[in-house]
């Protein structure tokens, strides 16, 4: 399983490194610089708001579909049509609920039109993920990897034209929403043609037993609750900033400057979990040992935080000034706090995926519900006093707390065998790196400082054996 994971994740990362960083740091960043923080802040707040009812949009169907097909490919014949109708029904409820709550929250005119477009784009994107879950469940990871970047590639082409080649008219934020709808729609049509062909080829001679909506509801709602609570404590901060603060749209735009970098990290973490989940589901169903694979993935996802946390504390202002024309004073604090949150994001991604793949859904529901309540409470307490830094602090605390609890749950349930001493050395490496940056900062040219800091960090990582090359050698990929 480790060899399969390494080969596919390297292909997946290669594709995404070519596309997604350019989209987020190139096109999306340029759009914010072009339209201004206030206009982009409205979009960013509404974008986060459109995520809040994503549970209704998906209702756990995507994860349940991937989980079921990976365990038994014949489920594609048994449950596909009913799942698609089930998802469509809840998609309509999502649209009505999002627009209704948006109207109740005071969004009217241009803002309401923008919310409508974002809700439609989320609707299309959710169905793309549903179709991709078929490919992942069938273990056709190379094709799933291609479709993981195709929508962003089309958006890059479309928005590049609108930004630089459409004549004298300046870019409007609503163009971004329209481009998303068009690109997502095209990708969805292509995916449906492919998955329908796979379905017909795989299950042509099999009968189709009946599955009622009640059964699907009972099996998918635990996944839905997990997604609901995780979405809330990941996306609600921008909406609360826009609603709770004076000049909220502009403050949300300032928050987006640093959150964009955190979102880059989240996108790459999502690549790992999207590949890891169906693999672990299949391995656990066959009673295979998953500890070695989980350790390897945890090391790969958590070690980047060792590098990024000290660099964001020491050189975050230079990075933000490099990316944006105008940088808010609070953006640097947000960047530092969200860099710490990346540790929790990695823990949640790895050990939350293990719990879900093992079918420990009640445990995941309890953990994520507590995380949601804690995040909501902290945001209400911290945002009025500390503004965008308060939202970042709330996010960091909740991400780390939920990640640690998920790890302890995996260990207690004996789903994995992960050495505790690795985490002690991991935390010590981060602390030593922060001390190093504190003493070396402004003592020489910034390029020389960065080279020295990165070199010593790598020495610490190798010296404490945070990264085990044996995992890759045992996967028979690196010889």
Residue with tokens 């901060």: 237
Lowest model confidence (mean pLDDT) among 125-134, 169-178, 462-471: 462-471
Q: What is the pLDDT of residues 431-469, one digit of tens each?
A: 999 999 988 888 888 888 889 988 999 999 888 888 876
Distance of CA 284 to the CA centre of its chain: 24
pLDDT at 29 over 90: no
Query: Where along the chain do its domains lie?
Result: 2-474
Q: How far is residue 165's CA from residue 171's CA, in Å, rounded to a whole number?
A: 11
The pLDDT value recorded for residue 9 is 66
CB-CB neighbours of 391 under 10 Å? 30
Q: What is the pLDDT of residues 181-209, one digit of tens each?
A: 999 999 999 998 988 887 777 654 445 45
CB-CB neighbours of 306 under 10 Å? 23
Q: How far is residue 159's CA from residue 10's CA, in Å, rounded to a whole number?
A: 28
What average pLDDT does this structure show over 26-44?
Answer: 82
CB-count burial class (<10 Å; 0-12, 13-18, 19+) for 281: buried
| Whole-Å CA distances, 171 to 27, 43, 44, 111 | 12, 14, 16, 17
Q: Which positions ≥6 away from 463 have C-beta within 8 Å?
A: none
The pLDDT value recorded for residue 402 is 94
Contact 171, 162 (CB under 8 A): yes
Q: How far is residue 70's CA from residue 67's CA, in Å, rounded to a whole number?
A: 5
Q: How far is residue 222's CA from residue 356's CA, in Å, rounded to a whole number?
A: 10
Alpha helices in 138-172 (DSSP H): 141-164
Lowest model confidence (mean pLDDT) among 96-100, 106-110, 125-129, 139-143: 139-143
pLDDT band at 64 (very low <50, low <70, confident <90, very high): confident
DSSP 444: S
* Of 53, 373, 392, 99, nearest in space to 237 by CA: 392
Phi, psi of 384 (to 5 degrees): -60, -30
* Of 141, 9, 17, nearest in space to 472 by CA: 9
Q: What is the pLDDT of residues 395-407, one digit of tens each?
A: 899 999 999 999 9
Listing DSSP states for 361-375 in one string gives HHHHHHHHHHHHHHH
């Amino acid at each position: 399983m480790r060899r399969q994971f390494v080969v596919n994740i390297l292909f997946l990362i290669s594709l995404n490194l070519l596309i997604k960083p350019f989209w987020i740091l190139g096109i999306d960043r340029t759009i914010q610089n072009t339209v201004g923080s206030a206009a982009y802040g409205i979009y960013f707040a509404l974008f986060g708001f459109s995520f809040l009812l994503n549970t209704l949009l998906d209702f756990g169907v995507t994860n349940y579909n991937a989980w079921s097909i990976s365990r038994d490919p014949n489920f594609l014949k048994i449950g596909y049509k009913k799942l698609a109708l089930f998802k469509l029904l809840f998609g309509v409820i999502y649209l009505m609920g999002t627009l209704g709550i948006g109207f109740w929250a005071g969004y009217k005119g241009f803002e309401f039109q923008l919310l409508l477009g974002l809700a439609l784009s989320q609707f299309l994107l959710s169905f793309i993920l549903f179709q991709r879950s078929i490919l992942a469940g069938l273990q056709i990871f190379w094709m799933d990897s291609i479709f993981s970047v195709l929508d962003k590639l089309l958006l890059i082409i479309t928005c590049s034209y609108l930004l630089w080649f459409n004549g004298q008219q300046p870019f409007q934020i609503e163009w971004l929403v329209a481009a998303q709808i068009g690109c997502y729609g095209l990708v969805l049509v292509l995916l449906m043609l492919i998955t329908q062909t796979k379905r017909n080829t795989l299950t042509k001679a099999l009968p189709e037993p009946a599955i009622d909506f009640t059964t699907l509801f009972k099996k998918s709602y635990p996944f839905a609750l997990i997604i609901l609570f995780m979405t809330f404590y990941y996306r609600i901060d921008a909406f609360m900033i826009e609603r709770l603060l004076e000049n909220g749209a502009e403050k949300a735009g300032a928050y987006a400057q640093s959150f964009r970098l955190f979102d880059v990290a989240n996108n790459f973490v999502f690549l790992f979990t999207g590949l890891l989940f169906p693999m672990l589901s299949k391995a656990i169903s066959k009673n295979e040992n998953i500890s070695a694979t989980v350790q390897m993935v945890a090391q790969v996802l958590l070690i980047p935080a060792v590098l990024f946390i000290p660099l964001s504390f020491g050189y975050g202002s230079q990075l933000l000034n490099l990316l944006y024309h105008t940088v808010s004073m609070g953006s640097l604090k947000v960047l530092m706090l969200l860099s710490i949150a990346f540790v929790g994001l990695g823990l949640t991604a790895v050990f939350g995926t293990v719990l879900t793949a093992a079918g420990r859904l009640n445990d995941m529901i309890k953990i994520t519900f507590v995380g949601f309540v804690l995040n909501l409470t902290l945001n209400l307490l911290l945002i009025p006093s500390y503004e965008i830094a308060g939202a970042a602090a709330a996010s960091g605390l909740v991400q780390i707390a939920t990640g640690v609890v998920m790890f302890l749950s995996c260990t207690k349930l004996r789903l994995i065998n992960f050495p505790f001493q690795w985490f002690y050395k991991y935390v010590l490496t981060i602390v030593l790196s922060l001390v190093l940056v504190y003493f070396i900062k402004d003592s020489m040219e910034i390029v020389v400082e960065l080279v020295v800091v990165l070199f010593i960090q790598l020495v610490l990582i190798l010296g404490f054996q945070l990264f085990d090359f044996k995992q890759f050698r045992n996967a028979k990929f690196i010889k």
